[in-house]
Structure 1
Amino acid sequence: MPSPSATSDKLTLISQRITLVNRTLCVGVSFATLLMVVITFAIVVLRYGIGVGWIAMQESVMYLHATVFMIGIAFTLADDAHVRVDVFYHKMSLQKRSWVNALGTVLLLFPVCLFIISYSFRYVVESWGLLEASQEAGGLPLVFLLKSLIPIGAILLLLQGVSVLLNSINQLRNLTR
């Protein structure tokens, strides 16, 4: 049987690897935020300065925004930067906060992520089957890719939830020694 320290080290390593994946993806898509600003600026200049506009350009901002949000949501959880109604949490001991994090992850986060993944699966498969494109003339022919971000974001969030749970278990184990 592995020692508690070895188990703790393995849990920490798994948690760190999950967080590293989400951090790397988040850094990668963070450049999309700059690109969104540049494209939005170009849209405004072209529309109001020259009187020209392209639907594909406008849709690209929406695609970039969705990508940043859906890929970045998991790292927001990893960085503990998500919105939390913090009436009691900040006054709790580390042990109680670890219990809140563990139970909240198992009872709230996991079910929501699993629901989103299962509910969106058919939706995304149908979109891929049609190679769904924009309904707008001149729009982007990539709606199926946009819809794929729904389960991808939920999977990344679920994985980060595993990391949060492993960290909470580690903290609880270390506090009870």
Structure 2
Amino acid sequence: MRLNFLISFGILVFFSVCNKIQTPISESEKNALQTILSENESIHSFLMKEEEKIPELTKLETAIQALIALNGGLKIQAEKMQNSLKEKGSKDVEKFFLAYSAFSENLAESVKLAGGTGIFNKFYCPMVKKTWVSQGTKVQNPYAPEMRDCGDLVP
């Protein structure tokens, strides 16, 4: 009985450690991530100017596909980004905002895994309960035109 417990515990520890080992991030992946960040910045700018409109995501989705195709250390995060955008809806702005917030969470995690970029940051607005990633440290909430400065820089 005690031996079975020790074996089970050892296997659990082994898999726990294995899950923490990360595949190295290649320069190609970092470049692909930079393309995604650039496309994301275009979408953020669009949302800051337009109300009740959904931006075109084709270039962003293509950039995510390119990152997935590299089959490296960011593949799982890229797949999560892709999956979150599948829930965007075609004309429902609130569905898009929920999908974009989920995408942003995964994008922020990808940036963190890649070692950060130094210029892109994660933000969160507690009023709308949504996340976004944008350049700089100034809060520019893309979700609520009436509260563009509502939100916090998240470490």
Q: Which has the higher helix share?
A: 1
Q: Which has the higher strand share?
A: 2
Which structure is richer in relative contact order (CA contacts within 8 A, separation 6 or more)? 1
